[in-house]
Chains A and B, each alone.
Chain A
Amino acid sequence: MTNPLTLYDRPNSYIGHSVPRPDARRLSEGRGRFVDDKVLPRMVHAAFVRSDMAHARITSIDISDAKNSPGVIAVWTGADLAPHVEPYVGVLSHLAGLRSAPQMPLADDVARWQGEPLAMIVATSRALAEDAVALVTVEYEELPAACDMETALDPDAPVIHQEFGSNLAWERTVDVGDTKAAFSRTDVTLVERELRFGRHTGVTLEARAAIADFDPSEDHLTFHYSGQAPHMMQFIFAKHLGLAEENVRIIAEDVGGSFGIKIHTYGDEIATAIASRLLKRPVKFVADRHESFLTDIHARDHVVHGKMAVTQDGQIAALAFDDVTGIGPFSMYPRTSAIEANQVLNLTGAPYDIENYHARARVVFQNKNMMCQYRAVGHPIAMAICDGLLEDAAAAIGLDPVEIRRRNLMRDDSYPRASASGMKLDDLSHQKALERLVDMMRYEALREDQARLRNEGVFRGIGFCSMVEVTNPSPMFYGIGGAPIASQDGATIRLDAGGGIQVSSSVTEQGQGTNTILAQIAADIFGVDLDRVRIKTGDTEVTPYGGGTWASRGAGIGGEAMLQAAVALKEQVLDVAAVILQAKPDDLDIKAGKITDTDGTERMDLSDLARTVYYRGNELPSDLKPELIATRHYRVTDFPFVFTNGAMAAHVEVDTDTGIIRVLDFWAVEDCGRVLNPLLVDEQIRGGVVQGIGGALYEECLYSEDGQMLNTTMADYLVPMSAEMPDIHVAHIETPTKTSVLGAKGAGEAGTGGAPGAILNAVNDALRPLNSSLWQMPMTPERVLKALGKV
């Protein structure tokens, strides 16, 4: 769906049109300002000595040779930095019972995961710092490690934090209706599966990067950072380095992808800030790809035992599952590592009318890198559990997978309502989305092709996923639990003397087009051409205070604040114009940078108005004090989250000799409410689907039994590449959310949330005639061959 602005559209009607990104040319001409592009006077470079062991007592660290290595300015161990930082603990009060131990930027006496930073080298170049890293000798006393999350709760498992007595970080159970009774009914068919979701990671094009620039004369830290949530980081640096919050400035200009990776507290980044403070000069740390794989948060890593009962006419009688997820040795700070499991409990089965629902999740400490929130937190697990079991059940009772959805999806006219787990839902369109999907994929014809090809020994499968996505979160997500994470965002819009507008917002841009959306809304609502809008995001010193970009909230929350600010500025400007033009504000409008009558007749240029206000205020009545600037903030109030929905389908071919799965086509119909920019929304859906396919087929952080990550290069860790990607056909249903004027819900995570379930179902549809099935992601050739009994 593309919908470019044409001559026939109302001037400045950018909302809803495929406006190209204003920053595309700058970035494509290599004029991006990513952290590693920045060179500050007297800047030095950090590298880290990292633990080789998954679990070991550090008996000694010999840094003497490193200190004497050329170019080295400082070498510090955990003990050296400890006095300069307050430890941090990744718990939140609304996740009752969640526990985690205090974390320090560098491990002190015990290393608890391979890759944990142990010592920091600062040198005049990164290469010289790495030379010195090689000269540090660490003596370890190896401790028994709990690497496998499935055995980490065993009574004889090594306990990572002795004070807790076990490796259980958090546990929650949801119990609705009576699943036990439903499962024991004699008129239902049961399916039961063990689903395994591999550990993978975000693989941002730009690695984590930071420059800390501490100025002792003002006790002020400027932190240039590649990340998503500047104000959250401002709080974290202030609190844990003992600085006044206003004395910490976070700057996140261009960011080369984040996907949830860059929204956490990483020891190496905290250490970089401490180093700058100690050295009184800028310190840069840019993770290399090996460090990224080893230390960027990992995601997923779930083993789920799931069970579903359906009646003979295909009604879901009950759904139950038990989820175990491994999070590494600590819960990540400040968002915690329990949110994903919590999402799995909250979201599983959310598209369907389910009365009996039982779900338990256990979040387990283990000696591996930490797991935390990554794009579509919990969604792919939740969707694959329910939709995987649903299609399994459909096959068991001989019902078509589309038909079983028709019989169970929540009706489009049944909202507002709640899901089985108690999530408040409104403005969803599962039925419409499914019918649109079936239509656009030519389902009947596809099934005929499938049957014909099976006779020729070609095994193709079609799989579906009906899904929801959590977007536009309210304070109920983090703030309620004590996290320093704003759920409201602000936008400021200012008319300058030249007639252009300056816009700033607390939501941030990581490549998804946030700034484009903000510019579209500002230009459209206020009434100027897009090229008269300058956007500033990602700087705590100059933007309004807010949460940043995560949980698909940039357009829905940041966009609504932008809309409200633009409306407010327009009112101000029309009040002034009415005085100057001796007209009524209601009879005036702003179009293409001109004050006009409502019929479009031009009355004066915006710059004339602004110059009058700024330069020649003497021409205005003395009681008229226009500011020509407006700020508005917005948060979602009536719902914890604004849910979106979608229906997706995958068409795959399984090579039963090699086990290789080829995705032939993918279709996504999704409802993100009002589509602000079809091009950007389609990009988000497609990009999300590709990451979902990555998790389903390719991406996995492989560890040895003793906790060594085995594939820390782009040659060994497979990300989805364009050559293997199918055409991804996208369509939209637009059911605006009633929570805002703009009506936009989020769109950033739907593809990642829904694609794995659809791929799983398609693969199992292909394997079904061979009496095989596979329930482990990624679905690698070897796993397919094992499922087929060929190896």
Chain B
Amino acid sequence: MKAPDFDYQSPETLEAALALLADADGMAEPLAGGQSLMPMMNFRLAAPETLVDLNGIPGLSGVAIEDSWVAIGATTRYCDLEDDKEVIEAVPLIAKVLPHIAHAAIRNRGTIGGSIALADPAAEMPAVLLALGGEVVLQSASARRTVKADDFFLGIYETVREPEELVVAVRLPKAKPHDRFGFHEIVRRHGDYAMAGCIVAADATLAGVRVAFFGVGDRPLRAERAEDALAGSDGGPAALHAAVAALSDLECDGDVSTSADTKRHLAGVALKRAFSELTA
């Protein structure tokens, strides 16, 4: 369990990092918090020729609060978000979710950009992005583009990011006064990847409710039929029941200890519990 040989580069500017990625012909990996990449390299599941360490690039971490968006730099660590009152006020969902992401030691290193770029289907942050309708800012040596969360995730560890692109920021919409959020994940042990997790983001009337799941399929999943069942409803038991029933076509995959059917059942439980926890 030792990583194969690799080159290590520690660029001091974003431009230099992007140039390294552009020249690497897909054989370089950006290194942010390293909480997933390093174990994958040690398992020899990842074998980049070059690691481009982003941690020395000023300006790639930190938060900018705009009129209706919060832009979070890619190398912003979870622990910094946990302690940032302005972020928590602007995106209250984050405060609900962060304590469930692994353990404190991992949150001390792990970054939001790393989690989004990796796109682990069981990770919480991609589902937060999806549930809130956030955006991912991608930059390459030659271009910058912003991709909506709904279009970003393609499959297990697969996104629209090109090898020469970096996730430079994650943009989340600021909560409006009557917005409410519910989060629930079903784990056997605190800090584990969820067996099933659900995030509900709603306005006062449930008109624009968004429901996202993680840990059930090959990517964070929006449950649009469940959203339809809830949208504009009174949020009562009948609507919730219909929303759970509408998960019948949720694209669930089993894992080593839990079948797809169980995942679907647990997704329904997580939805009910997340919905019942809707708070501003």
Q: CB within 8 Å of B: which residues of A? A: 125-127, 130-131, 134, 288-291, 657-658, 660, 698, 700, 702, 710-711, 713, 715-716, 718, 720-721, 723-724, 780-782, 785, 790-791
Interface of B is mostly: loop
Kindly list chain A residues whose C-beta atoms are within 8 Å of the C-beta of B5: 127, 131
- 12 A–B contacts from the bound complex (CB under 8 Å): A126-B2, A127-B3, A127-B4, A291-B1, A658-B266, A658-B269, A700-B257, A713-B43, A780-B257, A781-B195, A785-B265, A790-B265
Tell whether, in the assembled complex, residue B190 and residue A724 are in contact, meaning their CB atoms are under 8 Å apart: yes
Whether A718 touches B265, Cβ cut-off 8 Å, given contacts A131-B4, A702-B256, is no
Q: Which of A290, A724, A782 contacts B258 (CB 8 A)?
A: A782
A660's nearest neighbour on chain B, judged by CB, is B188
B4's nearest neighbour on chain A, judged by CB, is A131
State A335–B2 Cα separation when bound (angstroms).
33
Q: Which of A289, A718, A782 contacts B189 (CB 8 A)?
A: A718
B270 to chain A, nearest CB (A): 9
State A791–B195 Cα separation when bound (angstroms).
15
Tell whether, in the assembled complex, residue B256 and residue A791 are in contact, meaning their CB atoms are under 8 Å apart: no
Kindly list chain A residues whose C-beta atoms are within 8 Å of the C-beta of B2: 125-127, 130
State A724–B187 Cα separation when bound (angstroms).
11
Which 5 pairs of residues, A with B, have the shortest CB-CB distance? A288-B1, A127-B2, A723-B190, A710-B256, A657-B269
Identify 18 new A-B residue pairs, CB closer than 8 A, beyond the known A658-B269, A723-B189, A780-B188: A127-B2, A130-B1, A290-B1, A658-B266, A660-B186, A702-B257, A710-B256, A715-B193, A718-B189, A718-B192, A720-B189, A721-B189, A723-B190, A724-B190, A781-B195, A781-B266, A782-B258, A791-B262
Kindly list chain B residues whose C-beta atoms are within 8 Å of the C-beta of A291: 1
Kindly list chain B residues whose C-beta atoms are within 8 Å of the C-beta of A134: 4, 44
Q: Interface size of B by Cβ–Cβ distance < 8 Å?
A: 24
Tell whether, in the assembled complex, residue A782 and residue B262 are in contact, meaning their CB atoms are under 8 Å apart: yes
Q: Which of A289, A721, A724 contacts B1 (CB 8 A)?
A: A289
B269 to chain A, nearest CB (A): 5
B264's nearest neighbour on chain A, judged by CB, is A791
State A582–B76 Cα separation when bound (angstroms).
80
Quick check: is B12 within 8 A (CB to CB) of the other chain? no
Tell whether, in the assembled complex, residue A782 and residue B186 are in contact, meaning their CB atoms are under 8 Å apart: no
Bitwise interface map of B from 66 to 101 toward A, beta carbon under 8 Å scored 1, else 0: 000000000000000000000000000000000000
Kindly list chain B residues whose C-beta atoms are within 8 Å of the C-beta of A700: 257
B202 to chain A, nearest CB (A): 22
Tell whether, in the assembled complex, residue A658 and residue B186 are in contact, meaning their CB atoms are under 8 Å apart: yes
State A289–B2 Cα separation when bound (angstroms).
11
Interface of A is mostly: loop
B261's nearest neighbour on chain A, judged by CB, is A791
B273's nearest neighbour on chain A, judged by CB, is A657
Residue with the greatest number of chain A CB neighbours at <10 A, chosen from B188, B258, B269: B188
Bitwise interface map of B from 171 to 190 toward A, beta carbon under 8 Å scored 1, else 0: 00000000000000010111
State A720–B192 Cα separation when bound (angstroms).
12
Kindly list chain A residues whose C-beta atoms are within 8 Å of the C-beta of B186: 658, 660, 781
A700's nearest neighbour on chain B, judged by CB, is B257
Tell whether, in the assembled complex, residue B44 and residue A781 are in contact, meaning their CB atoms are under 8 Å apart: no
Q: Which of A126, A288, A716, A791 contacts B265 (CB 8 A)?
A: A791
B191 to chain A, nearest CB (A): 7
Bitwise interface map of B from 193 to 214 toward A, beta carbon under 8 Å scored 1, else 0: 1010000000000000000000
Quick check: is B233 within 8 A (CB to CB) of the other chain? no
Q: Which of B3, B191, B193, B258 contacts A781 (CB 8 A)?
A: B258
Q: CB within 8 Å of A: which residues of B? A: 1-5, 43-44, 186, 188-193, 195, 256-259, 261-262, 265-266, 269
Q: Which of B4, B190, B257, B269 contacts A782 (CB 8 A)?
A: B257
State A290–B5 Cα separation when bound (angstroms).
20
Q: Which of B44, B188, B261 contacts A718 (CB 8 A)?
A: B188
B70 to chain A, nearest CB (A): 30
State A702–B190 Cα separation when bound (angstroms).
21
State A785–B196 Cα separation when bound (angstroms).
14
Tell whether, in the assembled complex, residue A785 and residue B188 are in contact, meaning their CB atoms are under 8 Å apart: no
Q: Which of B3, B4, B44, B256 contacts A716 (CB 8 A)?
A: B256
Kindly list chain A residues whose C-beta atoms are within 8 Å of the C-beta of B4: 127, 130-131, 134
Kindly list chain B residues whose C-beta atoms are within 8 Å of the C-beta of A131: 4-5
State A790–B262 Cα separation when bound (angstroms).
9
Tell whether, in the assembled complex, residue B256 and residue A724 are in contact, meaning their CB atoms are under 8 Å apart: no
State A290–B42 Cα separation when bound (angstroms).
11
A661's nearest neighbour on chain B, judged by CB, is B188
Kindly list chain A residues whose C-beta atoms are within 8 Å of the C-beta of B44: 130, 134
State A781–B43 Cα separation when bound (angstroms).
29
Q: Which of A125, A716, A782 contacts B259 (CB 8 A)?
A: A782
Kindly list chain B residues whose C-beta atoms are within 8 Å of the C-beta of A657: 269
A698's nearest neighbour on chain B, judged by CB, is B188
Kindly list chain B residues whose C-beta atoms are within 8 Å of the C-beta of A785: 262, 265
State A130–B265 Cα separation when bound (angstroms).
42
Kindly list chain A residues whose C-beta atoms are within 8 Å of the C-beta of B188: 660, 698, 718, 724, 780-781
Kindly list chain B residues whose C-beta atoms are within 8 Å of the C-beta of A125: 2
A716's nearest neighbour on chain B, judged by CB, is B256
Residue with the greatest number of chain A CB neighbours at <10 A, chosen from B191, B256, B259: B256
Kindly list chain A residues whose C-beta atoms are within 8 Å of the C-beta of B192: 715, 718
Kindly list chain B residues whose C-beta atoms are within 8 Å of the C-beta of A713: 43
A312 to chain B, nearest CB (A): 41
Tell whether, in the assembled complex, residue B189 and residue A724 are in contact, meaning their CB atoms are under 8 Å apart: yes
State A715–B193 Cα separation when bound (angstroms).
8
Kindly list chain B residues whose C-beta atoms are within 8 Å of the C-beta of A126: 2
Kindly list chain B residues whose C-beta atoms are within 8 Å of the C-beta of A724: 188-190
State A127–B3 Cα separation when bound (angstroms).
7
Whether A711 touches B256, Cβ cut-off 8 Å, given contacts A781-B188, A785-B265, A791-B262, is yes
Kindly list chain B residues whose C-beta atoms are within 8 Å of the C-beta of A289: 1
Residue with the greatest number of chain B CB neighbours at <10 A, chosen from A127, A131, A658, A720: A658
B1's nearest neighbour on chain A, judged by CB, is A288
State A130–B41 Cα separation when bound (angstroms).
12
State A293–B43 Cα separation when bound (angstroms).
14
Tell whether, in the assembled complex, residue B191 and residue A723 are in contact, meaning their CB atoms are under 8 Å apart: yes
B107 to chain A, nearest CB (A): 15
B79 to chain A, nearest CB (A): 18
